[in-house]
Chain A
Amino acid sequence: MNGILRIAFKLLVNDRGKFTALLVGITFAVFLMVMMTSMFAGILSRSSSTVTNIGAKMWVLDPAVNNVSSSIPMPDYVQDAVRSIDGVRYAVPLYSGGALIKLKNGVYQAVTVIGLDDASLFGRPELIEGKIEDIYAENGFIVVQDAEITKLGNPRIGTEFEINDHKGVVVGIAKANISGLFGIPTLYTTFNRAISYLPSTRFTASYILVEPKSKSDIPHIKQEVNKLGYQALTDDEFIQKISNFYKYQTGLGINVMLMTAISFIVGLSISGQTFYTFILENLEKFGALKAIGAKGHELVSMILFQAGFTAFLGYGLGVGLASLIIMSAKLRMPDYAAQITNLNLGIAFVMVLIIAGISSYIGIRRVIRIEPFDIFRG
């Protein structure tokens, strides 16, 4: 390490009280920012779980649909029209709706029912137990083994229940890539069984899943679907649409953004104030260094190093602490939705850089302005 930076390092870490206060400030701020944004990321990820789990490349939907659970059924001709568009390899309907099931013990439980196209079973889940073809068996349903399965009394293959006065039998247990947002168990069945067992509107297809022949066909498919008065979105676009709904139309996003901003302000206040006090206490010493022959840029590098070192260490500790808490929470609460993403880490990192930048800017201004003559003059 460069000698002058080593001096800066020793000045910083040997002042244990201030160094600890600085670290606590930044760690706490990073912890809060990562926790808030991670919870939000988790919520957003779960809000699109159906889109991710089904895995279709394109979704055709009513333009008014803004999240996957509030679908608007489409008439059958839309599916036929989509199938006839150039560049569509195939297009199948998907049913998505809510229902109440009555368990063996008499308890009613809300569930999400996904009805897969009978012919292709496109969007079928990966099974842990049972065989996918058993979905065609009489009253066959596949239960998703996620955090919510306990609400169905931990069913096994053969477990029976009632759904809208129809009998239902569990024929398979599926793995869920991402659990749902609302804490409701998910059942898969065929499209036809779904619309015959559950009370349906005149139109039955919640979505039409499209497999384009190639990526280059996607713009054309979108254009043609638009002409029908519907919207065709890629899976990423649909996820983004759902994400935008939660971010901008539910108040969730603004609340999380405010909490993140408050965390930033708390971190900035603690760290900025402590770092400024640290600089003030050492101001005469910096003046003495200047008198001895230290150049302005060397003093600036000392301060930037001190602020940067504290910021990066605090960032690491904050991220570590947040990860530990999220991991522990997930072990105890399977429903816990927090998810640390690169974007969360990036946001917290940028915020920490801003905290370090502002803190050091205040310090640098004081140090640059100190005249060695002031040291002589006392």
Chain B
Amino acid sequence: MASLAIKATNLAKWFGEGDARTMAVKSVSFEASFGELLYIVGPSGSGKTTLLSMISGILKPNSGTVLVEDRDIWMMESDELADFRLNKIGFVFQDYHLFPRLTTVENVAIPLILKKNDWNQSLKVASEYLKIVGLEQRAALPPVKLSGGEQQRVAIARAIASRPDILIFDEPTASLDGDTGRKILEFVREHILNETRCIIIVTHDSRIFEYAHRIIRMEDGRIIGEEHEK
């Protein structure tokens, strides 16, 4: 049985106070294992992004715990939490958030540079990750010269460059056409996912549901169902 990557227990998050209080996530519990490609799906406003932020150490829950490899991440100090995100979590943002003024390879090298690696060594390692995503020929170009799918792959290369245990994808196919979206997910499942890595994807794009091992459905801040790969 695969070991546990994340264990979220009774997570709740609300915004505002008094009459203006909005419950975004209401006492959610779930687990994710290494080697698993887990989707969190649901309509807009269902709380999936808030949940994703809480389990990745970005947004502090109002109640509940998040254990990553048996450590409660919300007991960490802010610098320790930043180190945790840098070393354990890889993010692929919906809008990629690549730096247009840096080259593609420099973008991929950012987590390595943040980990205090030497600049040239970081670029060398980043080139290898660009090779993994098939973009080694585009290393010297700025991201704006790449297509949406290529930018997505650069974002993936950046996310995996620091060799994180957990990868978080936020709406990875939102800006891509159906074919490119499917290709990205095929690539992720075949080349990025492995036995020592857990990938969590937040999406409402049903065209890519077929690639998930497990799907957690959310609505109104609660988990309303769970499906496993057939």
**Which A residues lie at the B interface, using CB under 8 A?**
1, 3-4, 6-7, 10-11, 14-15, 284-285, 287-296, 298, 371-373, 375-378
Known: A294-B82, A295-B82, A376-B52. A11 touches B101 (CB 8 A): yes
Q: Does B53 count as interface, using CB distance less than 8 angstroms?
A: yes
Q: How many A-B residue pairs have CB under 8 A?
A: 87
Question: How distant is B19 from chain A, measured CB to nearest CB, in Å?
Answer: 22
Q: Are A293 and B93 in contact (CB under 8 A)?
A: no
Assembly CA distance A292 to B96 (angstroms) = 12
Question: How distant is A15 from chain B, measured CB to nearest CB, in Å?
Answer: 5
9-residue interface stretch from B107-115, B133-141, B205-213: B107-115
Assembly CA distance A291 to B162 (angstroms) = 14
Instruction: Indicate with 1 or 0, residue by residue over B156-171, a CB within 8 angstroms of chain A CB atoms.
Output: 0010001000000010
Q: Which among A287, A288, A293, A296 has the highest number of chain B CB atoms within 10 Å?
A: A293
Q: Which among A14, A290, A298 has the highest number of chain B CB atoms within 10 Å?
A: A14
Question: How distant is A250 from chain B, measured CB to nearest CB, in Å?
Answer: 51
Counting from the closest, the 4 A-B pairs by CB-CB distance are A293-B86, A3-B113, A288-B97, A14-B101
Assembly CA distance A284 to B85 (angstroms) = 17
Considering the complex, give the chain B residue whose CB is closest to the CB of A13.
B101
Question: How distant is A169 from chain B, measured CB to nearest CB, in Å?
Answer: 74
Q: Are A3 and B91 in contact (CB under 8 A)?
A: no
9-residue interface stretch from B26-34, B117-125, B177-185, B193-201: B117-125
Known: A288-B93, A289-B114. A11 touches B99 (CB 8 A): yes
**Which B residues lie at the A interface, using CB under 8 A?**
49-50, 52-53, 56, 58-59, 78-79, 82-87, 89, 91, 93-95, 97, 99, 101-102, 106, 110-111, 113-114, 116-119, 122, 158, 162, 170
**A-B contact list, 20 entries, CB within 8 Å:** A3-B113, A3-B114, A3-B122, A4-B114, A10-B106, A11-B99, A11-B101, A11-B102, A284-B97, A285-B99, A288-B91, A291-B93, A292-B91, A293-B89, A294-B86, A371-B58, A373-B58, A376-B52, A376-B58, A378-B94
Assembly CA distance A371 to B81 (angstroms) = 14
For A372, the chain B residues whose CB sits under 8 A away are: 53, 58
Assembly CA distance A99 to B52 (angstroms) = 90
Indicate which residue in A7, A10, A293 contacts B83 across the interface (CB closer than 8 Å).
A293
Further 6 A-B residue pairs, CB within 8 A, beyond A285-B97, A371-B58: A10-B106, A293-B84, A293-B86, A372-B58, A373-B59, A377-B49
Question: How distant is B109 from chain A, measured CB to nearest CB, in Å?
Answer: 8
Assembly CA distance A56 to B162 (angstroms) = 73
Question: How distant is A272 from chain B, measured CB to nearest CB, in Å?
Answer: 21
For B86, the chain A residues whose CB sits under 8 A away are: 292-294
**Mostly helix, strand, loop or mixed at chain B's interface?**
helix
For B111, the chain A residues whose CB sits under 8 A away are: 292-293
Assembly CA distance A11 to B58 (angstroms) = 24
Question: How distant is B76 from chain A, measured CB to nearest CB, in Å?
Answer: 12
Assembly CA distance A6 to B83 (angstroms) = 20
Question: How distant is B106 from chain A, measured CB to nearest CB, in Å?
Answer: 7
Q: Are B102 and A10 in contact (CB under 8 A)?
A: yes
Indicate which residue in B52, B82, B106, B117 contacts A293 across the interface (CB closer than 8 Å).
B82
Considering the complex, give the chain B residue whose CB is closest to the CB of A294.
B114
Question: How distant is B79 from chain A, measured CB to nearest CB, in Å?
Answer: 5
For B116, the chain A residues whose CB sits under 8 A away are: 3
Assembly CA distance A15 to B101 (angstroms) = 7
Question: How distant is A305 from chain B, measured CB to nearest CB, in Å?
Answer: 14
Considering the complex, give the chain A residue whose CB is closest to the CB of B159.
A292
Question: How distant is B157 from chain A, measured CB to nearest CB, in Å?
Answer: 13
Assembly CA distance A1 to B118 (angstroms) = 10
Q: Which among B82, B101, B110 has the highest number of chain A CB atoms within 10 Å?
A: B101
For B162, the chain A residues whose CB sits under 8 A away are: 293
Known: A10-B102, A285-B99, A376-B49. A293 touches B85 (CB 8 A): yes
Q: Are B114 and A292 in contact (CB under 8 A)?
A: yes
Question: How distant is B33 from chain A, measured CB to nearest CB, in Å?
Answer: 23
For A296, the chain B residues whose CB sits under 8 A away are: 78
For A284, the chain B residues whose CB sits under 8 A away are: 95, 97
Known: A10-B102, A296-B78. A376 touches B93 (CB 8 A): yes
Q: Are B117 and A3 in contact (CB under 8 A)?
A: yes
Question: How distant is B140 from chain A, measured CB to nearest CB, in Å?
Answer: 13
Q: Are A293 and B87 in contact (CB under 8 A)?
A: yes
Assembly CA distance A4 to B102 (angstroms) = 13
For B82, the chain A residues whose CB sits under 8 A away are: 290, 293-295
Assembly CA distance A287 to B91 (angstroms) = 12
Question: How distant is B68 from chain A, measured CB to nearest CB, in Å?
Answer: 14
